[in-house]
Amino acid sequence: MAEGTGSSLLDRIVARKRQEIDILEKSGPGDWQSQSAPLDFYSALKRPGGRLRSATATSREAGMDVESARKPGDANSDYLPLNRAIISESKKASPSMGLIRPDYDPITIAETYATLGASCLSVLTDEPFFQGSIEHLKLARQAGIPVLRKDFLIHRLQIEQSRAIQADSLLLIVRLLDDATLSDLLTYSRSMNMEPLVEVHSEAELIRACDCGARIIGVNHRDLDTLEMDLSLSSRLAPVLRKKNPEAVFIAESGIENPETLKEMSDYADGFLIGTSLMRSPSIEEAWKHLFGPSSSPSS
């Protein structure tokens, strides 16, 4: 998870999740077996589309001259994360920041992200700590692009619940799981055609994730225990991942707030998970333009 306020908070969150699992054992996770097939989260990240795939990116793929493909006056082409996947996050609050977006409207936010060109959505469903809700995810799915359930998932019943609420993917945090449980939850998710995003914060966790067969790996720049941010972490872990699993999708998470950081990380990351910098802005569109440039806006 991208944010927290230390290990004691993490312990409290996990304890709460175990209580929620006890409730699921009694009430059931919902009708997960008759839901329509999930959207392909993995393919959306491997082949990002939308407005971020500019003429420059298309020309590179076609072997054309990049400079000739740029539009006159497109000064922001140099820092657009060309051909990189964007997972845009929808969250109302966090333990470390408190209320982030008072006018939180899951449908409007999701549709705005989809219109701007996000590859996928990430929706917080934890209620006591992030003011999220499974209803938020159900509403966000109306935007028509793959939706990741972002929560603290440690049990098969939570995987079944994720499918019951029509999540297309889900988050597995390596720090919370032993190898046997991580492997089991990966396999169980895939049996429902959901490819999880597996989150790590160290080389050891990255190696564990690869050894367990993770195909989408998110490097969280924020340490869940200390709250310290290390934006260089993804650059250090990228070579390790490329050696362990060259085909894995590498997502950089947390602290991505300016175009310079995006440009630098585009050299080694396949995509980005971005939430707080967009959520705390009065205008998501303006925050998007700040990060990706005016040429990424539908009105440009």
Mind telling me the catalytic residues? 89, 91, 150, 199, 220, 253-254
State how far the Cα of 16 lies from the Cα of 172, in Å rounded to an integer: 17
Residue 28 one-letter amino acid? G
Secondary structure letter of residue 37 according to DSSP: P
Residues facing 281 on adjacent strands? none
Nearest CA to 30 out of 145, 122, 149, 182 is that of 149
Round to whole Å and give the CA distance between 250 and 45: 9
User: Residue 46 belongs to what H/E stretch?
Assistant: helix 41-46
Long-range contacts (CB closer than 8 Å, 24 or more residues apart) made by 66-75: 71/295, 74/293, 74/295, 75/293
Cα 167 from Cα 72, distance rounded (Å): 41
